[in-house]
């Protein structure tokens, strides 16, 4: 028992000896990120709060009222008056795995051998956006992804990732943007350059460098079209095809 | 302050962030054993706290929730840096009983031994021995039953001793660790 206590004591002393003050630069960096980040789920929380105030009796009464209205409407107007809609539904179509490669630009050819570069699939295809690994990536609803490989020391890489639902893709978008926002000595050193008008349902663009891979002139476009995430990554390259490539991919995703 | 930040008040969150940051950083530094990684974990944690704060139902549980967010960030850091330890084969109980005198355990040995622990084990050790949290408090942070906390602490300390022992006996070390 004494040995046990002595070991506990050693542990306490050892743990006491360490940094106790957070360097302010990390706190300010986080606060800068906060300035650009919306809180999540405020409307869900308020909707939930509203729903919780609805009593079972109110729910039953509301349902009964809806049924009654439907019966009255049917009897008054007659079923024949309900004409089919003139236009097809405007609901966007759901993208499937077969679309992923089609959305991306053609796979590049290895400059040395002349043969097409191998396709990258699965979570690995998001690897370029997750320099520190894909372990933390929320895989709920993740189906598959594709990435075009690159053949030179600079250029573009493009990715498309398919999710079960638009909400799953939204979670992936949030995760990736949170990762891209973090500046670190072994990760990104990017600045948000804002949304890209006309690109997908939500979009963000970045520019800066990637210390983890020693890359300069990095530009990133990340956007979501319904249940698919799309990205263009530019590095060691000063061309201006980033925007054009993104618009072409976006058009193919619609 | 938590309530205000929860409602989207960025100034309140800034004050909260500065109030929290030392505690969170100190814990992250002890779990990760790396200054920069702890800073990155703190930055991610503060951002996630801001982003997900509206989902926190009971502001009285903010501290435990914030530590939980921090531990997830620490776990991400360890995974990303491929620092997740390999499984350590525990020594038999009699071997531990014969471990070297604690007095000769030095900081480097403890540091090396600590790095062999899983994130969950590290968290349990740091929350108990550094933050002086009780078992129920640790259970709330880790969201596991108290029995699980007790068992994590037991195995963590046992693994620490095994690693220290193996470290002290380099000739037999290879056969004891994975």
Q: What is residue A43's predicted lDDT score, i.e. its pLDDT?
A: 42
Query: Are the CB atoms for A221 and A196 separated by under 8 Å?
Result: yes
For chain A, domains (ranges, CATH) are 97-253 (3.40.1000.70)
What's the CA gap between B8 and B2, in Å, rounded?
Answer: 10
Q: Which residues of A157-166 are buried (b: 16+ CB within 10 A; e: fewer)?
A: bbbbbbbeeb
ipTM of the complex: 0.77
Domain B93-172 in CATH 1.10.10.10? The answer is yes
Of the residues B9, B18, B19, B40, the best mutation for testing chain A's interface (the one with the most A CB atoms within 10 Å of its CB) is: B40
3-state SS class at A223: strand
Question: For residue range A80-130, what is the model confidence (pLDDT) as tens digits?
Answer: 443 444 333 344 556 778 788 888 877 665 555 666 666 678 887 776 677
Considering Cα of B41, then B43, then B46, then B48, what sign does the dihedral take? negative
Q: Which residues contact B100 (CB under 8 A, 6 or more apart)?
A: B164, B165, B168
User: A221 forms bridges with which residues in the sheet?
Assistant: A205, A232
Q: What is residue B82's predicted lDDT score, i.e. its pLDDT?
A: 54
What's the CA gap between A193 and A118, in Å, rounded?
Answer: 32
Contact A45 B50 (CB under 8 A): no
Residue ranges per structural domain of chain B: 2-80, 93-172
How would DSSP label each residue in B38-85?
HHHHHHHHHHHHHHHGGG-S-GGGHHHHHHHHHHHHHHHHHHHTT-PP
Q: What is the pLDDT along chain B (178 residues), one digit of tens a residue?
A: 888 888 888 899 999 999 999 999 999 999 998 888 899 899 989 988 988 888 888 888 899 999 999 998 888 887 766 543 333 333 333 333 334 444 445 677 788 888 888 888 899 999 999 999 999 999 999 888 888 889 889 888 888 887 777 766 654 444 433 3
Q: What is residue A72's predicted lDDT score, i.e. its pLDDT?
A: 53
Q: What is residue B29's predicted lDDT score, i.e. its pLDDT?
A: 93
Q: Which residues contact A254 (CB under 8 A, 6 or more apart)?
A: A92, A225
Domain B2-80 in CATH 1.10.1740.10? The answer is yes
Q: What is residue B86's predicted lDDT score, i.e. its pLDDT?
A: 36
Nearest CB to A45; choose among B29, B51, B54: B54
Q: What is residue B94's predicted lDDT score, i.e. its pLDDT?
A: 35
Query: E strand or H helix at A233, and its extent?
Result: strand A228-235
CA end-to-end span of chain B: 48
* Regions of chain A where pLDDT drops below 50: 42-59, 76-91
Instruction: Please classify residue A144 by burial: count the beta carbons closer than 10 Å to its beta carbon, then call 0-12 exposed, 13-18 middle and 19+ buried.
Output: middle
Query: Are the CB atoms for A31 and B17 separated by under 8 Å?
Result: yes
Q: What is residue B176's predicted lDDT score, i.e. its pLDDT?
A: 39
What's the CA gap between A104 and A253, in Å, rounded?
Answer: 9
CA distances from B26 to A25, A95, B35 (A): 15, 46, 10
3-state SS class at B18: helix
Contact A7 B130 (CB under 8 A): no
CA distance A79 to chain B (A): 45
Q: What is residue B135's predicted lDDT score, i.e. its pLDDT?
A: 92
Q: Residue B141 CA to chain centroid, in angstroms?
A: 11
Question: For residue range A32-42, what is the model confidence (pLDDT) as tens digits?
Answer: 888 877 776 54
CA distance A30 to chain B (A): 5
Closest CA relative to residue B45, chosen from A129, A35, A27, A132 = A27
Q: What is residue A87's predicted lDDT score, i.e. its pLDDT?
A: 39
Contact B53 A39 (CB under 8 A): yes
Q: What is residue A190's predicted lDDT score, i.e. its pLDDT?
A: 87
Instruction: Using an 8 Å CB-CB cutoff, list chain A residues near B124.
Output: none
What's the CA gap between A56 and A135, in Å, rounded?
Answer: 43
Percentages (nearest 5) of helix, strand, coil residues in chain B: 75, 0, 25
A17 touches chain B (CB under 8 A): yes
């Amino acid at each position: 028992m004494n040995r046990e206590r002595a070991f506990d004591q050693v542990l306490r002393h050892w743990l006491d000896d360490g940094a106790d003050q957070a360097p302010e630069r990390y706190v300010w960096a986080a606060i800068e990120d906060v300035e650009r980040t919306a809180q999540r789920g405020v409307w869900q929380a308020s909707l939930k709060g509203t729903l919780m105030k609805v009593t079972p009796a109110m729910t039953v009464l509301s349902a009964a009222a809806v049924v009654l209205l439907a019966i009255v409407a049917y009897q008054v107007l007659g079923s024949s008056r309900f004409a089919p809609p003139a236009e097809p539904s405007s609901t966007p179509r759901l993208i499937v795995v077969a679309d992923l490669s089609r959305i991306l630009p053609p796979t590049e050819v290895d400059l040395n051998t002349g043969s097409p570069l191998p396709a990258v699939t699965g979570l690995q295809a998001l690897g370029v956006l997750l320099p520190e690994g894909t372990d933390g990536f929320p895989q709920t609803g993740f189906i598959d992804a594709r990435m075009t490989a690159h053949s030179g020391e600079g250029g573009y890489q493009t990715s498309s990732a398919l999710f079960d639902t638009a909400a799953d893709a939204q979670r992936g978008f949030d995760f990736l943007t949170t990762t891209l926002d973090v500046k670190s000595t072994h990760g990104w050193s990017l600045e948000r350059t804002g949304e890209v008008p006309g690109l997908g349902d939500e979009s963000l663009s970045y520019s800066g460098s990637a210390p983890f891979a020693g890359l300069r002139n990095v530009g990133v476009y990340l956007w979501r079209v319904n249940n698919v995430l799309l990205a263009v990554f530019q590095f060691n390259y000063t061309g201006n095809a980033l925007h054009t490539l993104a618009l072409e991919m976006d058009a193919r995703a619609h | 302050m938590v309530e205000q930040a929860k409602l989207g008040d960025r100034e309140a969150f800034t004050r909260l962030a500065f109030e929290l940051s030392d505690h969170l950083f100190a814990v992250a530094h002890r779990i990760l054993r790396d200054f920069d990684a702890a800073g990155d974990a703190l930055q991610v944690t503060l951002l996630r706290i801001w982003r997900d704060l509206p989902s926190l139902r009971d502001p009285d549980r903010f501290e435990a929730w914030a530590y939980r967010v921090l531990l997830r960030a620490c776990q991400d850091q360890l995974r990303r840096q491929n620092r997740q330890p390999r499984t350590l084969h525990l020594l038999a109980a009699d071997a531990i009983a014969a471990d070297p005198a604690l007095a000769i355990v030095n900081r480097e040995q403890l540091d090396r031994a600590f790095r062999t622990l899983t994130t969950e084990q590290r968290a349990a050790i740091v929350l108990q021995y550094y933050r002086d949290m009780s078992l129920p408090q640790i259970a709330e942070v880790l969201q596991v039953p108290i029995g699980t906390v007790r068992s994590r602490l037991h195995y963590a300390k046992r693994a620490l001793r095994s690693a220290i022992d193996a470290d002290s006996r380099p000739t037999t070390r290879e056969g004891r660790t994975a």
